[in-house]
Structure 1
Amino acid sequence: MRTPIRTLALLLPALAVLIGVFAYPLAQSLWLSVSDPSLDLSNYVWVFGSESNVTIILRTFGIAFLTTVICLALAYPYAYLMVVAGPRGRAALIVIALIPFWTSLMIRSFAWVILLQDNGLVNQFLGVLGLGPFELIRTPTGVLIGMVQVLLPFMVLPLYAVMSGIDSRLSDAARSLGARPITAFFTVFVPLSLPGVLAGALMVFIQSLGFYITPALLGSPSESMISQSIFAQVSGLLAWGRGGALGAVLLLLTLLLLGVLALITRASKRTTGKDVLSL
C-alpha cells in the first residue's frame, strides 16, 4: 500500500496545478456561459443564432484545416529528408526546425507584418518576377502564411520521431519481392508513418483553433477568428457569458474532433497491421 500512497503524494502537486490553472478557470468559464447575465441558455442561442458567429466558427475551422494541410505537405518531405540524411545533414535540419522555438511569437508575427505589407519584401520580389503585387496582409492568406511558419515545427518533430523508428528493412523486403521503390514507399513506409501524421496534425489543428496574436496582426477585423471574437466579447464588451459560450462551443467541437481522430487512429492501426502482415 505504500507505493500507491507515495505515487499519489508525488502526483498531488501536479494535480493541484492542473486544477488551479486549468480545471477551475474552465469550470468558471462554463458557469458564466449559462449564468451571465441570467441563468439560462441565451448565450448559446446568441452563438448559434447569429450568422456572423457561425461564419467566424466555420472560418476558424477552415483556416485551421488549411494550416494543417499545408504544414503536412511541407513537413512530410522535410521529416523524410531528416531520416535519410547523414548525421551532419540531419543535425543541420533539426537545428533549422528548432529555430522558430528560439524566437518570440510576437517578433515573428511582426516580422511577417513587415514582409507581407503592400510594399514589403515579398511583394517586391513577386514584382520582379512579374507576379505581383498581391494583397497579402489583412487577408486570410497572410494569416495562413504566418500560422504555417509558426506551427510547422509541431508537424515536423512528431513525423520525424515516428519515421526514425520505422525499420528500413521492411521497405527493402517489399522491393526484394518485386515492388517498385515508389510502390514500397506508399504501401509500406507511408502507412507506418500515419501515427506521426495524426499526432502532428492534431497538434497543429488544435493550436490553430486558438491562435490570437498572428490572426490579429496579419488579418483584418472583417476576417476575424473565434479567439479574436472571444477577446472582443470579454475585454471590449465585458460580456463574459458570451465569451464563455464561444469558448465552450470551441471546446465541444474540439473534443468531438478528438473522438473522431481516436476512432480513425484505431482503424488505421488495424489496417496497417493487416497490410504489413499481408506483405
Structure 2
Amino acid sequence: MTTSTLVHVNEKELKTYASKERRALLGLTSPALLVILIVMVIPVGWLFYLSFIGSDGNFSLEHYQRMLDSKSYARIFLTTFKVSLLTTAICILIGYPLAYFLSQLPARVANICMLSVLLPFWTSLLVRTYSWLVLLQRKGIVNQVGMDFGFWDEPLKLVHNLSGTLVGMVHIMLPFLILPLYASMKSIPQDYIKASSNLGATPTQSFWQIFFPLSMPGLLAGSLIVFILSLGFFVTPAVLGGGKVIMVAMQITNNIELFFDWGAASALGVVLLVMTFVILFVASKLMRLDNVLGGGH
C-alpha cells in the first residue's frame, strides 16, 4: 500500500470519526436545544408574529407606525434609557470604590464582607422595593430623621419620582456590577503594582496607569449587565415612581391590562429586544476593539 493510499484511508477514517462525534454531540445536546426552542425561540417568534397583526386580524405595521407617530412612545423609550443610564452611572460611582476596597482586603475578610453584597439576593425584589417606599415616603424614617435633626423643615418628595426610582434600582442592581468587577480586580497580579512602585511611580500613578486599565473588562461587563437588566425593570419604577416614571415594561403591562392590545404590547417588546441586541452587538465590538488596542499597546 502506497503512502498516498494510506493518507487517503486515514482521511476517510478521520472524517467518519468526526461525523460520529458530531452526531453524538448533537444527541447529547438535543434535550437542551429542545428546552431552548420551547422556552425561548417559540415565545419570541410568537411575539414577533403578534406584533405584525393589526386590529382587524390581518398583517399590518400599524403598531410600529403608532410608535413612530406618537410622541408618548418616544418619551417612554427616552425615560427607559435615561433611567438605565443613570442607574448604571450611579452603580459605577458607588460600586467601583467598594469593589476596589474589597479587592485590597485579606481573602478571609473580603469573603465575609462580600456577604453584605450578596445579602440582597436572598431577599425578594418586591420586599426590597416596598422597604424603600416605607423608608422614603413623606412620613418615613428618612424624612423623620432629617426633620428631627433640622436638616430640612418639611418632608421631602423622595418617592413617586425619578429620585426614588433611582434609589431603589441602584440598591437592586449594585451587586451585578460589584461581582464581575471584584473578580476582575482580584485577577490583577499585585506584582504589576509593585513593579511600578519600584520604577518610581506614585500610588496614584500606579492605580490610573496600571490597575484601572486592567480592571476595565470587569467594569465594562458589570456596567453592561446593569444597563441591560435596567431596561426591562417593572416593579421598582412602578412602586417608587408612583406612575410618574413610565418605562417600556410598564407600558407593555398597560397595553395588555387596560386595552387588551397584545399586538401593541408585542411590538413594544420586539423594539426593546432589538435595541438590546444592538447594544450588545456594539458593546461586543467595542470590547473586542479595546482588547486589540490593549494587546497592541
Q: Which bracket does the TM-score occupy, shorter chain normalised?
A: over 0.9
Aligned residue pair count: 275
The 5 Å alignment of 1:157-236 reads 157-236=179-258
Indicate which of 103, 109, 116 corresponds to 1:83: 103
The 5 Å alignment of 1:142-153 reads 142-153=164-175
Distance 2:86 2:150 in 1: 26
Q: 1:10 matched to which residue of 2? A: 28
> Does 119-128 or 24-33 show the bigger shift?
119-128
The answer on whether the counterparts of 1:191 and 1:272 sit within 8 Å (CA) in structure 2 is: no
Distance 1:84 1:274 in 2: 29
Q: What amino acid is aligned across from residue 43 of structure 1 in structure 2? A: H
Identical aligned pairs, as a percentage? 38
Q: 2:44 matched to which residue of 1? A: 26
Distance 1:204 1:242 in 2: 27
SS in 1 for 2:52: helix
Q: 2:176 matched to which residue of 1? A: 154
Distance 2:294 2:237 in 1: 38
The answer on whether the counterparts of 1:192 and 1:272 sit within 8 Å (CA) in structure 2 is: no
Structure 1: gaps (5+ residues): none
- When normalised by structure 1's length, the TM-score is 0.94
Q: 2:117 matched to which residue of 1? A: 97
CA RMSD of aligned residues (A): 1.4
Distance 1:58 1:14 in 2: 37
Closer, same or farther in 2 for the Cα pair 1:126/1:48, shift >3 Å?
Answer: farther
SS in 1 for 2:244: helix
Distance 2:240 2:27 in 1: 46
Distance 2:38 2:246 in 1: 30
Q: What amino acid is aligned across from residue 200 of structure 2 in structure 1? A: G
Closer, same or farther in 2 for the Cα pair 1:186/1:129, shift >3 Å?
Answer: farther
> Does 79-88 or 158-167 show the bigger shift?
79-88
Q: What amino acid is aligned across from residue 173 of structure 1 in structure 2? A: A
By how many angstroms is 1:8 displaced? 1.8
Residue 117 (1) aligns with residue 143 (2):
no
The answer on whether the counterparts of 2:138 and 2:158 sit within 8 Å (CA) in structure 1 is: yes
> Does 118-127 or 21-30 show the bigger shift?
118-127
Higher RCO (Cα < 8 Å, 6 or more apart) = 1
By how many angstroms is 1:129 displaced? 4.8
- When normalised by structure 2's length, the TM-score is 0.89
SS in 2 for 1:221: coil
By how many angstroms is 1:22 displaced? 1.2
Q: 1:252 matched to which residue of 2? A: 274
Structure 2: gaps (5+ residues): 1-18
Bigger radius of gyration: 2
> Does 34-43 or 104-113 show the bigger shift?
34-43
Distance 1:270 1:181 in 2: 27
